Structure 1
Amino acid sequence: MPSTAVLSPPAPPLGVGPLLRRWRDQRRLSQMELALEAAVSTRHLSFVETGRSKPSRDMVVRLAEHLEVPLRERNELLLAAGYAPAYAESSFEDEEMSQVRDAVKRLLAAHEPYPAVAVDRRWELLDGNAGVALITAGAAAHLLEPPVNALRLSLHPEGMAPRIANLPEWRAHILGRLRREVAATQDAQLRALLAELEGYPGGEEDEGVPKPGEIVVPLRMRHEAGELSFMSTITTFGTPLDITVAELSIEAFFPADDHTRAVLRAA
């Protein structure tokens, strides 16, 4: 008779105590340090982490704030403690998000002729301005079909990568930022994206080593008018209470030299 594989039952979900301890370990805080910051006793915090004491809703929120847990994961902590989630999650296209969409469009338009994009927590494109076409020109059509992932588009061998003059340096910057986000959020999809991007070509022995005199990691793009050089900034909403708003960011590219500025303004 053929053998039948025996599947192990799925691991039970972690309770709020072990989850809080995992976040505390990731933030490299001792129980005493967190207890002092959150104004609770070390003994009570120890009881919460070991499951000997059930934290109140306010306690979960307070500890999550001091541990800088993202809003989505704060909801998970509340659910693990037996409480209802505290933070709503809207679609970017919902009616109640109209003011946010309008603010994003105004920011993107005000940045023209320089490129700028709005992305969600997994770096999927929500909006972009007219300047984006200049840096994405020549990318394969399948990478530009929604949902467009900005990091995949940047490093994919059929995306922007062939036109990036300092690909090893830019690749190291992208991967380093993504690794930090994976560590901060423990998001499985971000971890899968990181593994995918790490498999793309473009790394070299001197990857990530800054060039002499550089103060930021530039994005240097090959262009028919000569090499273009950009530096970028990330903008987020300062007081979000909705998960979608908290996870939304705008990456804006600025010309890093006079030649780039002149080419974009002429275009």
Structure 2
Amino acid sequence: MIDTHVHFWNFDPVRDNWINDDMKIIRKDFAPENILDIYSELNIKGCIAVQASQSEEENHFLLKLAAQHEIIKGIVGWVDLLNPHLDERLSYWQNYKTIKGWRHVLQAENRDFILNPVFIAGVKQLKKYNYTYDLLCYHNQLEAIIQLVDQIPDQPFVLDHCGKPDVKSQDLKKWTANINTLAANPHVQCKVSGLLAEADWQNWTEKELFNCFDVIFEAFGPERVMYGSDWPVMLISRPYQEWFNLVNKYTERFTVAERRLIFSDNAKAFYRV
């Protein structure tokens, strides 16, 4: 099994100011050593380390960890997609085969950024180097995300955290419609990850989460959904095992082959690991 979405960091209160006082449990360092026992217990054999800081230094930090820890099978890094010398930077990063794709924290940007022709041109260059792109956005940004991916029809995309639906309010109607539109693009996949952060951290219910799972699996099918944890962010709500067990329970309705896709094969194919 592959966990397609984990973060590692040496906590810096200035750089990581998004980790506020309500998130005290993750205001500290997180390294591969902190999750190895859990992975061993659950028989998870590898992970994709995703950028948590928007700098090229982050790529080197994750590459160093990957060189030390076999569990890291791939990296989703950060590169400035607005850089006029982007092609040169992508060519440089080709030297590091552990980097499989890129991500920008679009949830912190506005519609004009997402649809900036320079940004879109930057994403278009990724295909030349066989890179993937992780889409990180809130549910109220999905219409712009749809317009983005429609302009780059052959780029492999994956939607992080189900597009961050409003799990807490369960106001899912518009999110559902946008997910269905996005999923109509065969080049877009989806990570079942990150939903605990969008729920009432201490008082969510299984039904609230499964309502979101229903939409994702109906839209994308098990052929385009991959398991992710969003560790350690998800620790603000529950221990790792509880999230894993929740996804495991929901997917019991699928065949053995379909579960293998969700927990392993889709990730291996998408990130080429």
TM-score, structure 1 as length reference: 0.27
Higher gyration radius (CA)? 1
With the length of structure 2 as denominator, give the TM-score of the two structures.
0.26
Larger helix proportion, structure 1 or 2?
Answer: 2
